[in-house]
Amino acid sequence: MTFLTAMFFYLFSGVAIGAALMVISSRNPVHSVLFLILAFFNGAGLFMIAGAEFLALILIVVYVGAVAVLFLFVVMMLDVDFVELRQGFLQYLPVGSVVGLVLLGELLIVLGASIISPEIAGTALQPIPDPAIRSNTAALGDVLYTHYIFYFQLAGLILLVAMIGAIVLTLHHRPKVQRQNISDQVARTKETSIEVKQVESGRGI
């Protein structure tokens, strides 16, 4: 790791951790979501350093572009009193930190296992190509529409079902709703929309 990469690594990770802390500690939920977006961007930067440029871009496109915007909508539309929700935050702290410690311990054990039995790494099906020779995006493109065409199509079908399901469960046809009809509006002429009336003086219409 050169000095420059190291510098960027610490920059991205530092900002990411700071932003993540702000997500859970800021008072305004809209600020929380904005900090979440900042954390995502820095995560994407870390992926970039690791040579996973595809993941980095997907993180920005999917999480920042879609998920975070959805969160923003939800936070703004739902009438949740976040101050009330956060009351008694400190009393959950001991349990929360125990859960965190257990997770940390598990992570260390997993890391330890890969040191204890390194042969597991050797059984990987296909070694990831060196990013210097072939970029992630190209390597994925090589197999996604060829070797994995079956899964790709299947994923499409699953998304179709999700779409049908969302419509089936939420769309209500209300007959009395006034809808805007653009073509009707555009097709209006001066004759159909303006009526000239002669008004006698001293009288209303």
Partner 1 sequence: MQPVIDLTNLALAYPEMMLAVGAMVLLMIGTFSGEASVRLVTGLSVALLVATGLWLAFMTGEGTAFHGVFILDPFAHFMKILVLIGSALAIAMSVSFARVEKFARFEYPILIILATTGMMLMISAGDLIALYMGLELQSLALYVIAAINRDSLRSTEAGLKYFVLGALSSGMLLYGSSLIYGFTGQTGFVEIAQAITNHGSSLGIVFGLVFVLAGVAFKISAVPFHMWTPDVYEGAPTPVTAFFAAAPKIAAMALFVRIVMTAFEPITTDWQQIVVFVSLASMVLGAFAAIGQTNIKRLMAYSSIGHMGFALVGLAAGNQAGITGVVLYMVIYMAMTLGAFACILAMRRKDGMVENINDLAGLSSSNPVMALFLTALMFSLAGIPPLAGFWAKWYVFLAAMEAHLYMLAIVGVLASVVGAFYYLRIIKIIWMDEPTGSFMPMAGELRLVLGASGLFVIFYVLFGGSLLTTAETAARSFF
- In the complex, the residues that contact partner 1 under the rule CB under 8 A are 120, 123-126, 142-143, 145-147, 149-151, 154-155, 157-158, 160-162, 164-165, 167-169
Nearest approach, Cβ of 165 to partner 1 (angstroms)? 4
Q: How far apart are CA 196 and CA 205, in angstroms?
A: 12
- 59 contacts 39 by C-beta, under 8 angstroms: no
Nearer to partner 1, 80 or 162 (CB): 162
Nearest approach, Cβ of 10 to partner 1 (angstroms)? 30
Nearest approach, Cβ of 152 to partner 1 (angstroms)? 10
| Helix spans in the chain (H) | 3-25, 29-49, 53-58, 69-77, 82-85, 93-116, 119-122, 136-144, 149-170, 182-187, 190-193
- 60 contacts 67 by C-beta, under 8 angstroms: no
Nearest approach, Cβ of 132 to partner 1 (angstroms)? 20
